[in-house]
Structure 1
Amino acid sequence: MQVLTKLKDQTNFTNTEMRVADYVIQNITKIPTIYIEDLAKLTYTSHSTIIRLCKKMGYDGFRSFKNAISGVVYSQLHLPSEVDANFPFKQEDLTMDIAKNIANLTMDTIKKTLNQLDEELLQSVAEILFKSKHIFLFSRGDSQIRARSFQNKLVKINKFAIISEEYADEAWNASNLTAKDCALFLSYSGTSPQYKRMLQHFSNKNIPTILITGNTESDLIPLAAETIVIVQEEYDFVKVGTFASQVAFQYVLDTLYSILYAKEYRSNVENLKEKQLLIQNGILSEEL
């Protein structure tokens, strides 16, 4: 945090250097990926002013300064949550205290999840989903609500997913998968014996599989083609509700959907416009 202290202290800073320092403090999460030319433009200063400021603060140049800022951003993402993921409120908490705690828990969960995501892995998982003829979603309880939300979004890009455990037909659905399909498992605990048998079957048949779990020690991981692990400070049973785990699942699935959408962004937007006209003003309109 030393770099942040120096930026706030601003001892012996010129007016232009103060302007750069203030911008960095207010936009600290953007600095690790910003170019010096862009920072100069945004602060109405110059390349030499920024280099001079970096050296005045004890850094060799802009790169070492950015590395120090990256450390601050990383530590902020890893700050321990003051909100208990299992009991995020107490009996004596006021209504707005509960609301603030849930908001803080939600934001903290997304930050932690983002920090655990790997770019190459996300791209690989998205590619499996993109190439699959059918997407079978395996999930139970609250996680199935997240799966249904994902299923609903996929319809917007003409991809149709199947909730495999709807009507207790998971065994039939599992037996119908082919190598052209894929199976996506949502299991925070990652301890389902039935899922283990299914994943073994899919592995034997060379059927692509994706596992999203919160258990780094899950015995399902070796059987899945790709695994996204999102660890949260949430117990299996002793908790008020599945807050953190479900926020994390929703965030990951929303991210995957967005990556899929972006793959064919222009055609998806055109399709959206066409379908909206048909549904709102065309023969499919409810008001006709």
Structure 2
Amino acid sequence: MDILEHIQELYPTLTKKQKTIADYLIANPEEISYITLAQLSQQTRSSELTLLRFCQKLGCSTFVGLKEQFRDYTQKMIRIASSSTYFVPELEAGKAPERERMLLEICSQEVSAFSEFISDLPMDTILAASDKIRRSNRIFIFAHDISKVPGEFLKLRLLILYYNVILIDLSDLEQTQKTLRKLTEGDLVILFSFPRYYFPIGNIAKKASESGVPILTITDSDASPAACHSDLLLICPTSTEMFYNSMTIPIAMLNILASCLVIDSISPSERQNFINTLSS
């Protein structure tokens, strides 16, 4: 039995105030892994003592114990959301012409999607994103699962350009929580979010936003969970008939963004010599 099931089982025995707390936990399960006792007290308009007694009611001796149970719940939801990320087409083995036809069709779809992307590049947003990166003292890239591929790619590009950049693996809940707590003025958060969306990503974006730092989200849709808390969105369509996410367009977007940073950062007289070093 997970923590939400346990709360729901005990719900009829709770006091009115405890039900208010329970309602908040049930409605915001992904948030509890990252929240402090003082913050939960403010959100539920309950004293810290009342919250500690509520924890004991659930069988947790401390608030940390409650957070650990919610962390376990979050990890379970992450595993569920991270299951199979590809579709297996119906195809009889050994039929080479059919395989070739399917591969050519996939290539055609990639070319079509890329052409549409290039023809409608969000230049204003790319320029604004470049400005945010250049003005930042520290850059924190948050990514998970398939999103770590473009996340690592962007990190390497920014390191070449001598930016102070750190990649945070969102599956490490403790490191994610520590990083969110230490965000300060001059920092920039870059979130990667592609289907299937990482379960707590909306709450992580919300927490980063509450710290006051700017947020750049690179995602497949303006309806993705992190989008509403972001200052800038770079939209990269990723869906194909074979995979939930093709990285063709996200990687292209990052190359364009990195190119913009080179143009902005290097004097014209040194620009070509510097560009020649990027392949290394």
Percent identity of equivalent pairs = 12
SS at match of 1:149: helix
1:128 aligns with 2:125: no
Give the equivalent residue in structure 2 for 1:241: 243
1:109-148 correspondence to structure 2 within 5 Å: 109-148=113-152
In structure 2, C-alpha distance between the alignment counterparts of 1:240 and 1:207, rounded to whole Å: 37
1:231 aligns with 2:233: no
Give the equivalent residue in structure 2 for 1:194: 200
1:243-282 correspondence to structure 2 within 5 Å: 244=246, 246-266=247-267, 267=270
In structure 1, C-alpha distance between the alignment counterparts of 2:123 and 2:152, rounded to whole Å: 25
Structure 1: gaps of 5 or more residues: 1-84, 280-288
Residue 112 of structure 1, CA deviation = 2.5
Residue 210 of structure 1, CA deviation = 0.7
> In terms of mean alpha carbon deviation, does 179-188 or 197-206 score higher?
197-206
Which structure has the greater CA radius of gyration?
1
* Structure 2 CA distance for partners of 1:265 and 1:89, relative to 1, 3 Å: farther
Residues 126 and 259, structure 1, Cα contact 8 Å, conserved in 2:
yes
1:145-156 correspondence to structure 2 within 5 Å: 145-156=149-160
SS at match of 1:263: helix
SS at match of 2:200: helix
In structure 2, C-alpha distance between the alignment counterparts of 1:175 and 1:131, rounded to whole Å: 21
> In terms of mean alpha carbon deviation, does 266-275 or 177-186 score higher?
266-275
TM-score, normalised to structure 2, is 0.57
Residues 179 and 208, structure 1, Cα contact 8 Å, conserved in 2:
no
Residue 243 of structure 1, CA deviation = 5.0
Residue 110 of structure 1, CA deviation = 1.5
In structure 1, C-alpha distance between the alignment counterparts of 2:161 and 2:132, rounded to whole Å: 15
Task: Write the letter of the residue equivalent to 2:242.
Answer: V
* Structure 2 CA distance for partners of 1:229 and 1:182, relative to 1, 3 Å: same
Residue 187 of structure 1, CA deviation = 0.9
* Structure 2 CA distance for partners of 1:255 and 1:134, relative to 1, 3 Å: same
Task: Write the letter of the residue equivalent to 1:144.
Answer: K
1:172-191 correspondence to structure 2 within 5 Å: 172-189=178-195, 191=197
CA RMSD of aligned residues (A): 3.2
Paired residues in the alignment total 188
In structure 1, C-alpha distance between the alignment counterparts of 2:196 and 2:235, rounded to whole Å: 10
Give the equivalent residue in structure 2 for 1:218: 224
> In terms of mean alpha carbon deviation, does 217-226 or 190-199 score higher?
190-199
SS at match of 1:164: strand
Give the equivalent residue in structure 1 for 2:75: none
Residues 168 and 176, structure 2, Cα contact 8 Å, conserved in 1:
yes
Residues 192 and 218, structure 2, Cα contact 8 Å, conserved in 1:
yes
